[in-house]
Amino acid sequence: MTPRNCLVTGASRGIGSVIAGRLSAAGHRVALTARGADQLAEVAAKLSGPSLCLPADVTDPAAVDNVFSTVEDAWGPVEVLVLNAGAAVAKPMAKLTDDEWYGQLELNLTAPFRAMRRAIPAMTRSNWGRIVVIASIAGKIGEPNLSAYTASKHGVIGLMRAAAAELAKTGVTVNAVCPGYVDTPMTDGWVGKIAARTGKDRAEIRTALEHKQPIRRLITADEVADVVDLCVASAAITGQAITVDGGAVQS
């Protein structure tokens, strides 16, 4: 494949860092953004090709615009956009605050919208582009104690579908990857919060998450990256929310 200019959000750890590594190994130029500068530098040091470390808060519109402008000044327009930044607030709906609700929508739905809006004009001008949103199986089913996260992930899948339909004739594809429970620091954080709230043993909680998936283990970040690779390579896959969860949600 022709080397492309890639931007990966939430690239400092977990799924995002693995995706960045895959894109770099495939010969692409990879710009990394997340809030942690030190962690971004550690990821970039392991990449095999050109990279840019661009610390930013993706919920800040000015910061996002600056990230895109920096990539454009260095390499040209973003051609592959992987929207991985996200987080979850785990608590019963009755205890969820307005600030937590709006924070989840801002990070998991509005930030991807702003990044897509910024990337699309250049992609359509060149008649080529790939946008991949890392969503969740929570975008397809209801998850208890994750109401704001679930709503935001349902929303971002709807956003992806609308964008894919709008851009179908332009050479730009838009897809979502919907992992189940993945072996990442984010899942470790969930386990810790559940343990603190319930008093249960962390190992017991982790096993329960593993058993939610028929393959009886957590998904690996590499298995999520496999599907991102497919979405980047294919011009015929668009408007899809591809589930990677060991068979828990069959769709």
- pLDDT at residue 132 tops 90: yes
Choice between 185 and 24, residue whose per-residue pLDDT is larger: 24
In the chain the domains, ranked by start, together with CATH numbers, are 5-180+220-244 (3.40.50.720), 181-218 (no CATH)
Per-residue pLDDT averaged across 66-74, rounded?
98
Structure tokens at 14: 């977990």
> Residue 196's pLDDT is what?
81
Catalytic residues: 149
CA 100 to chain centre: 19
- pLDDT at residue 198 tops 90: no
Angle at 189 between CA 116 and CA 136, to 5 degrees: 40
pTM of the model: 0.95
Could you tell me what percent of the chain has a pLDDT over 70? 100
Predicted confidence band of residue 201 (pLDDT cuts 50, 70, 90): confident
Task: Give the E-state strand segments of 13-120 in sequence order.
Answer: 29-33, 51-53, 80-83
Per-residue pLDDT averaged across 102-112, rounded?
98
For residue 207, give every residue at least 6 positions away whose Cβ sits within 8 Å of its Cβ, in sequence order, or none. Answer: none
- Give the pairing of strands 51-53 and 29-33: parallel
